[in-house]
Amino acid sequence: MRFWASRPGTYGDEATRFQRYLAVVGVLCVLLMAAPAAAAPPLNIVALGDSLTAGHGLPLQDAFPAKLQAALQAKGKAVAIANAGVSGDTAADGLDRLDWSVPKGTDAVILELGANDALRGIDPKVTKAALGKILDKLAARHIPVLLAGMQAPRNMGADYVREFDAIYPALASTHPVVFYSFFLAGVATDPKLNQDDGMHPNPAGVDVIVKRILPSVEALIARARRAQGS
């Protein structure tokens, strides 16, 4: 009889522990089902350009890439924007340094080049060819691009202005880019938005550029996320 008798503190305690175990497992399952999906990793975007991208005459935190990154992060976009702007660069210079300026792991590129070509009166055909090669190389790497257009100074003559300004719409029509027609829209020639040289935006000017280009950059981000499958 002693053998069959329940021993105090054994079977009853085991059953209680098992019930508690099932309860804990159930809670964990509910929590896992309710947990939000893991956040997507930040997109690595390279802003490839000249002094307008580099932030000539400005602290780094006021340069276009830094202010754009802050604006996107304020909207909940996980991005890291590298400043690959070099003052004085032409489109051909950007092509020459493309491979190391846009390293492996880059998810998208904002291409802003051509202003110095126009200031120097470089043949628009040369500028267009260099930009086209940049776009071709990035396409071969499956990197989405936002192409920021530029306009020639109006004092370069009507023929030059017409041929130069046509570069960017023509490239946008033959390459799968997000196209923003004029990088300095709303800023060019406005003394309140430019530094004393009349060519480079001041911090307020950069704010205007960021505000205007933001929808196009968001379209670029969406395209890059689709390419990642996320």
| Residue 228 confidence (pLDDT) | 86
Could you tell me the CA-to-CA distances from 120 to 87, 92, 116, 149 in Å, in that order? 14, 13, 6, 17
State the average pLDDT over residues 74-101: 98
Express each pLDDT in 95-153 by its tens digit.
999 999 999 999 999 999 999 999 999 999 999 999 999 999 999 999 999 999 999 99
From 6, 196, 197, 230, active-site residue = 197
Query: Which residues, 6 or more positions from 43, have their beta carbon under 8 angstroms from its beta carbon?
Result: 77, 78, 79, 80, 107, 108, 221, 224, 225
200 noted as active-site residue: yes
Split at pLDDT 50, 70, 90, the class of 170 is very high
Give the integer Cα–Cα distance in Å for 144 and 207.
24
Express each pLDDT in 24-48 by its tens digit.
444 444 444 444 445 668 999 999 9
| Residue 38 confidence (pLDDT) | 52
51 noted as active-site residue: yes
Give the integer Cα–Cα distance in Å for 88 and 199.
13
Mean pLDDT across the chain: 88
Is the confidence at residue 66, as pLDDT, over 70? yes
| Residue 26 confidence (pLDDT) | 46
From 89, 107, 117, 200, active-site residue = 200
| Residue 87 confidence (pLDDT) | 98
190 noted as active-site residue: no
From 13, 50, 51, 190, active-site residue = 51
